[in-house]
Amino acid sequence: MKYLLSNKFKKPGWILFITGIVAGIFLSINDYESNLIKTNVISLIHYDSFFKENYGFLRIIENNILDEIIVIFVIIGGLLVCFSKEKIEDEFISKTRLDSLVWAILINYSILLIATIFIYEITYMHILIYNMFTPLLIFILRFNYVVYKKPGYEE
């Protein structure tokens, strides 16, 4: 498994992932409104309004970056958890890792397909935002469930 990271990355991954999920839930409960970390950032593509003079590439804009930090925490944390070796990396773990990845992709796109058919307008956009994280979340949940329910498994 050349693409797996050392097991020592799993603990920081869990910290980032759980922190990001909790902060993301808190931010979504507050309708994504927060001025906690407002700063100037580089925007590759900027559409401030419907007026052409506000369109542009490579603009410096003022933005609250809390949501970006939360997304970075969830993605990096989730990837560290998903792609860090277990203490004992055997054939069972490899098969479970692959099966969990397949499950995550199938469930993710099933949710997206159902949402596309039955959910509309801004609610659909919220589903798309959450859908960015469902492959990581489903993989982590299924992988850990299968591994830790195995009789005789010790971490």
The pLDDT tens digits of the residues spanning 2-16 come to 889 999 999 999 999
The answer to whether 155 touches 116, Cβ cutoff 8 Å, is no
Helix (H) or strand (E) holding 60: strand 55-64
- Any idea of the CA torsion for 77, 148, 146, 136, to the nearest 10 degrees? -10
| Residues 6 or more apart whose Cβ sits within 8 Å of residue 34 | 27, 64, 66, 67
Q: What confidence tier does 1 reach under pLDDT thresholds 50, 70, 90?
A: low
Task: Please give the average per-residue pLDDT across 71-97, as a whole number.
Answer: 95
For the residues of 71-132, what is the DSSP string, one character each?
A: HHHHHHHHHHHHTBPPSS--HHHHHHHHHHHHHHHHHHHHHHHHHHHH--HHHHHHHHHHHT
Q: Rounded to an integer, what is the distance from CA 8 to the centroid of its chain?
A: 20
In this model, does residue 153 exceed pLDDT 60? no
| Residue 135 scores a pLDDT above 80 | yes
Sign of torsion over alpha carbons 148, 93, 138, 71:
positive
pLDDT value at position 48? 67
Mean pLDDT to the nearest integer, 65-79:
95
With a cut of 90, say whether residue 54 has pLDDT above it. no
3-state secondary structure of 41: strand
User: Is the model more confident about 123 or about 31?
Assistant: 123
Q: Average pLDDT in the 14-42 region?
A: 88
Q: What DSSP state is assigned to residue 39?
A: E
Q: Residue 138 has what pLDDT? A: 97
Predicted structure pTM score? 0.86
Lowest-pLDDT choice from 30-39, 62-71, 142-151: 30-39
